[in-house]
Structure 1
């Protein structure tokens, strides 16, 4: 597994993420945003972060543009979590997608959110070849989520 992580800066943590989470808690989704809640792998306490939910062929996915960050490690340990939008809570199970299967998902993710997250993909974009997308796939965890409630 890749050790790739791009930690967010002060502005992202204290302004952007808080603003997106604030709107999601009030039931307003900005381009598919939700608040992801996952139990901490050590503490067992709920940890939250704003995410973009990608839908491809009727299936939902979570993509980690910043790499193997805390929520991805917690997701592997917990095997699922909750997506929150206002009062609506969707409990889900998660299955990590193999690197060889990520190219079309990364392409779809970048097609939708490149303006937000393109800087984290080392110059690879939605128009990049499958080979280029496969090259960066190990750096970006992807989870297929299945709502269970």
Structure 2
């Protein structure tokens, strides 16, 4: 497995993520944003971070543009979590997507959010070839989200 990680800078942590989370906690989704809550794999405590919820063919996915970051490790250990938008909380299970199944999902993610996250994909974009997307796929975990009713 890849160990690719691109840590966020001060502005992202202290301004951008906080602003998106603030709006999202108040029920205002910023381009599909949600607050992801997942149990820490070591502490067992809830950890939160803003994420972009991708919908493709009626299915929902979480993509980690910065690579194998803490929430992806926690997600693998917990097998799910919560997606929050205002007072609405969707409890979900998550299954990691692997192999060629990631290619169309990464393409869709980049098509929607390239302006925001494109810098983390090493020059690969929504118009790149399948081979180019396959080349960066291991660096960007993707999880299929199944909301429990």
Tell me, yes or no, if structure 1 residue 61 matches structure 2 residue 61: yes
Residue 148 of structure 1: CA displacement?
Answer: 0.4
User: TM-score, normalized by length of structure 1?
Assistant: 0.99
Give the Cα separation in 2 of the matches to 1:73 and 1:58.
26
Residue 100 of structure 1: CA displacement?
Answer: 2.1
Give the Cα separation in 2 of the matches to 1:91 and 1:3.
28
Match of 2:20 in 1: 20
Match of 2:78 in 1: 78
- List runs of 5+ in structure 1 lacking aligned partners: none
Residue 21 of structure 1: CA displacement?
Answer: 0.2
Give the Cα separation in 1 of the matches to 2:59 and 2:39.
23
Match of 2:95 in 1: 95
Residue 99 of structure 1: CA displacement?
Answer: 2.7
Give the Cα separation in 1 of the matches to 2:3 and 2:81.
23
What RMSD in Å do the two structures reach over aligned CA positions? 0.4
1:1-149 to structure 2, matched below 5 A, reads 1-149=1-149
SS at match of 1:126: coil
Give the Cα separation in 1 of the matches to 2:62 and 2:42.
22
Residue 11 of structure 1: CA displacement?
Answer: 0.4
1:97-146 CA-to-partner distances (Å, cap 9, x unmatched) read: 01321110000000000000000000000000000000000000000000
How many residue pairs match? The answer is: 149
Give the 4+ runs in structure 1 shifted more than 4 A: none
- List runs of 5+ in structure 2 lacking aligned partners: none
Give the Cα separation in 2 of the matches to 1:78 and 1:128.
33
